[in-house]
Amino acid sequence: MNSDSNRKHNFSAGPCTLPLEVLRQAQQEFVDYQGAGMSLIEMSHRGKHFDAVAVEAMALSMEVFQVPDDFSVLFLQGGAMLQFSMIPMNLLTHGQKGAYVNSGAWADGAITDAKAYGDIYTAWDGAENNYTRMPTSAELAMQDHTRYLHITTNETIGGIRFAEWPEVDVPLVGDVSSEYMARRLPWEKFDLVYGGAQKNLGPAGMAVIFIRKSILEHTNRDLGRYLRYDIHEASGSMFNTPPVFPIYMFGKVLKWMKKQGGLAAMETLAAEKSGALYRAIDDSDGYYTCPVEVACRSQMNVVFRLPSEQLEQKFLSESAQVGLMNLKGHRSVGGCRASIYNALPKSSVDALAEFMADFSDNNARTNG
């Protein structure tokens, strides 16, 4: 790609849009990394070149995400879904329970997998509300001997997020995949934060885990070695061959984020971009509707419907023709969804909002 004009407006829910600046840097370095005569992904993961890349990426992740010193960062393969199992495997010991908020598809997946490895219960289930909101703290039915409360901070499919953090007497474990480093976290509430990199931070193939160091002394040791957090932490995420290319790209994305103004800038931009789309929905006199309760609307995944499925298909077809890509909602819920991750430019959101206004003007409700 030789110019920005060749780039589509990519609203994909994952893999995510990446900064054009980062893609071009990787393109330039790909064949011959720093004059070594080979690509970084061909080198030993224990060589000096990759060691420098990994160390820098770890340091930047702590800095950009404003992570306290009493946490360690791990780069592991398997994405967030492997963590659905590793979390109860490591954190639950005899007599302890894991509490889960069922806020939608990804939370339900975490619950399903966790049940194979420990005593798991659902502290709140959003099914009766069709997963259109998150719970209040008062609605959480916590039980005795609970080790942690697992929350999916942002549901990519349903387009809902925790606007207010749960107030409970146990540590939180958070799947932050689809809003990773797009908002600040109250770290004092968490023992473990995790997510797949491919929704906001880089290419697919890696999970990024922040874990409180003090709990590593008490994690389960009766596991296969790769499944133990303490082993990965002790080896600096080099217990086995790590996901080299995702780590390399992740580091570059973090540099780009820092250059843009860091976490505060990403948080502000997320509010601006989502705000523009929600205004387009709310100001449409009901032509576009968002099923999510206003207070719980996601700032990363904006879901909306049109008056009919016929109009939705026309909307998706015509939007793609003008370069607005990947706006189809998840197959389980239908409708439309715009994922507006950190690297998606505000200009892309403005283009979508303008298209939405034009489409509603040109396609009366009676045409549906």
Q: What is the mean pLDDT of each run of 10 residues along the chain (368 residues)?
A: 70 94 96 95 94 97 98 96 98 96 97 97 96 98 98 97 98 97 98 96 97 97 97 97 97 98 97 98 97 98 97 98 96 93 97 98 72
Q: Which of 229, 258, 287 marks a domain boundary? A: 258
Say yes or no: 221 and 307 in one domain.
Answer: no
Say yes or no: 88 and 157 in one domain.
Answer: yes
pLDDT at 5: 63
Say yes or no: 242 and 344 in one domain.
Answer: no
pLDDT at 176: 98
pLDDT at 2: 38
Instruction: Please indicate, yes or no, if residue 12 is contained in any of the structural domains.
Output: no
Say yes or no: 71 and 215 in one domain.
Answer: yes
pLDDT at 190: 98
pLDDT at 331: 86
pLDDT at 4: 62
Instruction: Please indicate, yes or no, if residue 318 is contained in any of the structural domains.
Output: yes
Q: Which of 258, 286, 306 marks a domain boundary? A: 258
Q: CB–CB of 261/31 below 8 Å?
A: no
Q: Which of 233, 258, 283 marks a domain boundary? A: 258
Catalytic residues: 106, 175, 199
Q: Which ranges in the chain belong to alpha helices (H)?
A: 20-29, 48-64, 79-91, 105-114, 229-234, 244-260, 262-282, 309-321, 346-362
pLDDT at 1: 33
- pTM (predicted TM-score): 0.95
Instruction: Please indicate, yes or no, if residue 8 is contained in any of the structural domains.
Output: no
Instruction: Please indicate, yes or no, if residue 130 is contained in any of the structural domains.
Output: yes
* Domain housing 306: 262-367
Report the CATH number that the domain containing residue 344 is assigned in CATH.
3.90.1150.10
Q: CB–CB of 229/209 below 8 Å?
A: yes
Q: CB–CB of 140/123 below 8 Å?
A: yes
